Chain A
Amino acid sequence: MTDDLLTRLLGPADPELGCEACFDELDRYVEVELAGDDADAAVPGMRPHLSGCPACAEEHESLRDLVAGQT
């Protein structure tokens, strides 16, 4: 509970993308991720943003699951 609260209040410690850049890179990030490659190296700043932005995290999960279900 407290750790989760701290995460939500303080956000990611590492440098992150903004929402716009996250949307721009989301399709590439998901495909790299589903290919089993290092998506966080391919798109630096994406993982911290997804941990700090619930809306972008939801959209990432949706795209990942949708594409995973069709390949």
Chain B
Amino acid sequence: MSDFLLILVSTVLVNNFVLVQFLGLCPFMGVSNKLETAMGMSLATTFVLTISSVCSYLVHQYLLIPFSLTYMKTIAFILVIAVVVQFTEMVVRKTSPMLHKVLGIFLPLITTNCAVLGVALLNIKKMNSFMESIVFGFGAAVGFSMALILFSAIRERIAVADVPSPFKGAAIGMVTAGLMSLAFLGFTGLVQI
């Protein structure tokens, strides 16, 4: 149990996907203008990341390894992610139209989110077990969500702040992201895995 807790803390704080490993920067900069959309995006990403890390583990374990095709894992994982995203969109549209309205445009965007592919590949690299893969995927998603929501909350305040005109918009966003990244590097050494 404590193993899982360590993985969770490690992926959320120490090896935060966005701020330490610099994966999934596109939605991090692109969807963080408003807190509401950031929350929608993090919800969708959490869901897809967890499911796709499970699916890609299964595909790797029971399809690629027996046929000794592990060198095809990138292509296979891209396929898995695309299918999971598409399937998720269908299910959400059917079961909860409200959630579909909130997540709507973000779901297809996740297909090209490198954090999702990164989690799948890192799971293989770290030789995680099935449960560990789930926790790792979920932890990565929580870390992504936390970084995205914190960053968008900061950006909402920056939008009304008196920023020098050369720094307005994306520039001050980049500076802020850099500072947040520095702050998260402070967690290094909290846990060792």
- Asked if A pairs with B, the answer is no
* B-to-A contact residues, CB < 8 Å: none
